């Protein structure tokens, strides 16, 4: 049986931390779909289409990885995609409580959907998309956190030179 995994997130924008989780999941599962949530409540900097395009470009070297946007319940999207596994990265113990709640809710909504947690690589444990945006907005260097394609997109969006 081929196992398809879904890696959901807002990816506003995708970082090297996300990329690390995707690359490792791509080794574990037959295919991985990076599911980019619309997440209107988070008022993303980049529109959904741009976030999908950036993830596609950054992850284009991974053959069994595809990227899709979605604007519905995650469990419903997983069902549509016929994904059996949700992948989530854990950066610190503080992530666990929320992640446990999310996994339990998703399993209640779709009993066959299992959540697999991957520990985030140590060098990326303190990264979040919001922090990257803040550092970039204030003129800091984000080279070690995001792909050059994302840096260019941030420069354009934030009107930086």
Task: Point out the residues that are catalytic.
Answer: 18, 42, 91, 129
Closer to ligand COA by CB, 97 or 161: give it.
97
Minimum separation from the CB atom of position 89 to ligand COA (A):
3
Q: Check if the beta carbon of residue 56 is closer than 8 Å to that of residue 44.
A: no
- Which residue, 21 or 136, is less far from ligand COA as judged by CB? 21
Give the nearest distance from C-beta 28 to ligand COA in angstroms: 15
For the CB of residue 51, give the shortest distance to ligand COA in the complex, in Å.
10
Distance CA 160, CA 154 (A): 8
Give 39's contacts (C-beta < 8 A, 6+ positions apart): 10, 12
CA angle 65, 67, 73 (to 5 degrees): 120
Report the residue number, 122 or 161, with the smaller CB distance to ligand COA. Answer: 122
Query: Do 125 and 107 form a contact (C-beta atoms < 8 A)?
Result: no
Rounded to whole angstroms, how far apart are CA atoms 55 and 127? 17
- Residue closer to ligand COA by CB (options 9, 69) is 9
Helices (H) and strands (E) in the chain, counts: 6, 5
Residue nearest ligand COA, Cβ-based = 17
Residue 39 C-beta: closest distance to ligand COA, Å: 5
Residues in contact with ligand COA by the rule CB under 6 A? 8-10, 12, 15, 17-18, 21, 37, 39, 42, 73-74, 89, 91, 102, 105-106, 120, 124, 127-130
């Amino acid at each position: 049986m081929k196992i398809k995994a879904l890696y959901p997130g807002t990816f506003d924008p995708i970082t090297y931390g996300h990329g690390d989780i995707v690359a490792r999941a791509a080794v574990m599962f037959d295919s991985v779909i990076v599911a980019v949530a619309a997440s209107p409540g988070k008022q993303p900097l980049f529109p959904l289409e741009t976030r999908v395009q950036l993830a596609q470009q950054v992850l284009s070297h991974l053959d069994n990885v595809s990227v899709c946007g979605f604007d519905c319940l995650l469990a419903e999207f997983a069902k549509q995609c016929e994904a059996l596994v949700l992948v989530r990265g854990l950066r610190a113990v503080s992530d666990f409580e929320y992640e446990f709640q999310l996994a339990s809710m998703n399993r209640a909504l779709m009993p066959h959907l299992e959540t697999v947690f991957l520990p985030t690589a140590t060098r990326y444990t303190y990264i979040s998309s919001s922090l990257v945006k803040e550092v970039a907005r204030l003129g800091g260097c984000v080279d070690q956190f995001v792909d050059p394609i994302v840096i260019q997109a941030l420069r354009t969006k934030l009107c930086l030179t």
